[in-house]
Amino acid sequence: MVGILSSKEEKLMINSLNSNLNYDYNTSNFKQDKNIDFKINKHGVAVITGEGALPYRGKKFEYNPKIFGLDESISKKDMQEFNNFMKSNALKDPNKIEKSPLKDFNPAYTKWDPTTEKMMLGFFVSYSKMFHLGYDIIKKADEFYKEFDALISKDLSLNEFKTKYIDFKQRYDEFVKEYEMAMGDKMLLSSDDEIITQQSEKPFKAIQGESKNKETYKDDSTRNELVKKLLEGKFSTSKELELLFGMKFSDDDAGEFNK
């Protein structure tokens, strides 16, 4: 359920959201702050280690370790060049579109990170639903989200990844234009500076539509819940890891993790 936010509440929400987006996951910051590390085993698979990742230790890292800078066979120079290239071709942030009240609160994130890109794509899906942009926009947003998740999971070299990423981005940029047209002024504050959306207090209903192959598209409540936590400033360490590693765990595991 999306409530009605005052301008002050909106600013608090955005500051909380951006503080999570600006966290640099794929450097020593994450390893030091969370006491988590990664090692490449003899089969070339990245596995999770470290006392901070108790529920995950020994688990396979679900994404391509090369693009996260975890493959020690890649030189620092090559990794820096890759990161510079990716940063200059980062995906559009839905909070920074032209007609968004959020675009000037905080600067855009300054480091390229695959999990941040994935989070941005998740926002496009959730915002499309929250603002009722229609079945076609929601479906495309969801398809891009899933395609990107699959892309960062493939075992590709840095150059192979860049080639596929640029193809993805070109198609994604066209989608963003459609998204912005559909969004219009919906994200802007009202004239009395009191309301960010015109959402009612009713629970959000899943949007269903029929595709050409007769499959039914339904609301993804899990992703909506993730965005809700972000907007409320309740993005916990366990949620960060769940997003990063693509695994779920029980409340007991989460409690053990946060001790």
Q: Is residue 1 part of a domain?
A: no
* DSSP code for 63: S
Chain segment 121-160, per-residue pLDDT in tens: 998 898 889 888 899 999 999 999 999 999 998 989 999 9
pTM comes to 0.56
- Contact of 146 with 139, CB cutoff 8 Å: no
Is 26 contained in some domain?
Answer: yes
**Structural domain of 133:** 7-257
pLDDT band at 93 (very low <50, low <70, confident <90, very high): confident
Closest CA to 58 of 72, 45, 73: 45
Question: Considering the domain boundaries, does residue 67 fall inside one?
Answer: yes
Q: How many domains does the chain have?
A: 1
- Domain membership of residue 2 (yes or no) is no
The pLDDT, as a whole number, for residue 65 is: 80
228 pLDDT more than 70: no
Pair type for strands 216-217 and 209-210: antiparallel
Q: What band does 17 get if pLDDT is binned at 50, 70 and 90?
A: very low
pLDDT value at position 34?
Answer: 45
